[in-house]
Amino acid sequence: MTTVACRSITVSLDGVEVLRGVDLDVPSGGWVTVVGPNGAGKSTLLRAVAGSLTPGGEVLLDSRPVRSLSRRETARLVALVPQEPVIPPGMRVLDYVLLGRTAHLGFFEAEGMGDVEMAVSALHDLDAGHLAGRTVDTLSGGERQRVVIARALAQESPVLLLDEPTTALDIGHQQEVLDLVDGLRSERNLTVLATMHDLTLAGQYADRLVMLDGGLVAASGPAAEVLTGEAVSRHYGVRVRVIDDEVGPIVVPVRRAP
C-alpha cells in the first residue's frame, strides 16, 4: 500500500518560487499525470517527490515524510526516470540497468547473481533483453527510454516517477512506451506519477490529471474535467479545440486564420 501525498509543497530555486503550495495525492496502484505549460513546476514537483531537493511542506511516501528517510530508503520507495538521463560514455546496457540495484546493496557490497537476474528480467519486461550487450550511448531514442525505465524497474520501488517519458519519441514509440508502463503497472502493482506535454496522450493513460500553472494547482480530476477548451486556452495561452471522443478528450491546436 504505497501512496504518494504532497502537502502544501513549496520550492524556491534561486529566489524564484517555482512551487507555491501544491497538494497532490496518488493512490496505491494509481496513475496521476501532471500537465501544465513550460515552467509550471512539473519537473520540480517530481524532484521533490524523489527526494532530490528538500521542499517546504511535506512529501509523504507510505505516510512517512521523505525528509526523515535516507537516500537509500527513499530510493527503495520511488524510482525516477529523468527527462534527460545522464548516459555515462561506453557503459553497457546491462551495467546501466544494474545501477538500479544500488539502493539494495550495502555501501561496499557488489551485486550478486540475484541482482543480475533482476536486471535481466527488467530488460525482458521492456522487450529490451536483446540490447543487454550494447552500449547505452549507441541506442536509438526509443530503445534508450526503455532501458532507462528498465533501470527504474530493477530498483523494485513501488512508485515510478516518469518525467516527460515521451517527449523525445515519435508517436509510435510514445504509444509503445506508455503501453509498456501501463502493463507493468498492473503486473507489478506500481503507482505512477508522470509529467507530460501531450495532453491527449496524458488523458488516455492517467486515472487523474493535475494541471499546474505558475506553481499552483489550476485544476485536477479526470481528463474530461481538466482538459476543457477554456482551461487549456487560459493556462497554456493557446487557441485549441477539444474534441470529446470515446477515448477521451482530444486536444488539437488551431492556427489563427491567416
Partner 1 sequence: MSPTEAGPAGLRGWWLASGGLAVLAAGIAGLALGPADLGFGEVLLELVDRLPLIEADSGLGERQQAIIWEIRLPRVVLGLLVGAMLATAGGAYQGVFRNPLADPYLLGVAAGAGFGATMAIVSGAGDGIGILDPVPLSAFAGALAAVTLTYLVGATGGRLDPVTSLVLSGVAVASFFTAVQTFVQQRESETIRQVYFFVLGQLRTAGWNDVALLAPYTGVCLIVILMVRRRLDALGVGDEEAGALGLDVRRMRLITVVAASLGTAAAVSVSGLIGFVGIIVPHTVRLLFGTSYRVILPLTVLFGGAFLVLADIVARLAVEPAEIPIGVVTAFLGAPFFVLVLRTARRAR
Interacting residues with partner 1 (CB under 8 A): 47, 50-52, 70-72, 74-76, 78-80, 82, 85-92, 94-95, 98-100, 102-105, 107-111, 116, 119, 132-133, 135, 155
The closest alpha carbon to 143, from 154, 153, 129, 164, belongs to: 129
Please state the closest distance from residue 101 (CB atom) to partner 1, in A.
Answer: 9
Other Cβ atoms less than 10 A from the Cβ of 116: the count is 15
Contact at 8 Å (CB) between 212 and 196?
no
Please state the closest distance from residue 72 (CB atom) to partner 1, in A.
Answer: 4
Please state the closest distance from residue 1 (CB atom) to partner 1, in A.
Answer: 21
Buried residues in 29-67 as b, exposed as e (16+ CB within 10 A): bbbbbbbbbeebbbbbbbbbbbbeeebeeebbbeeeebe
- The upper half-sphere exposure of residue 221, i.e. CA atoms within 13 Å in the direction of its Cβ, equals 8
Q: Which is nearer to partner 1, 94 or 202 (CB)?
A: 94
The closest alpha carbon to 185, from 215, 149, 216, belongs to: 149
Joined grid coordinates for residue 6: 504532497
Q: Which residues pair with 61 in a beta bridge?
A: 4, 64
Q: Which is nearer to partner 1, 7 or 76 (CB)?
A: 76
Q: Which is nearer to partner 1, 64 or 72 (CB)?
A: 72
Q: Which is nearer to partner 1, 6 or 232 (CB)?
A: 6
Q: Which is nearer to partner 1, 19 or 48 (CB)?
A: 48
Q: Which residues pair with 192 in a beta bridge?
A: 31, 160
Other Cβ atoms less than 10 A from the Cβ of 200: the count is 18
Q: Which is nearer to partner 1, 70 or 189 (CB)?
A: 70
The closest alpha carbon to 215, from 8, 29, 77, 17, belongs to: 17
Contact at 8 Å (CB) between 90 and 137?
yes
Please state the closest distance from residue 252 (CB atom) to partner 1, in A.
Answer: 36
Please state the closest distance from residue 27 (CB atom) to partner 1, in A.
Answer: 23
Q: Which is nearer to partner 1, 5 or 103 (CB)?
A: 103
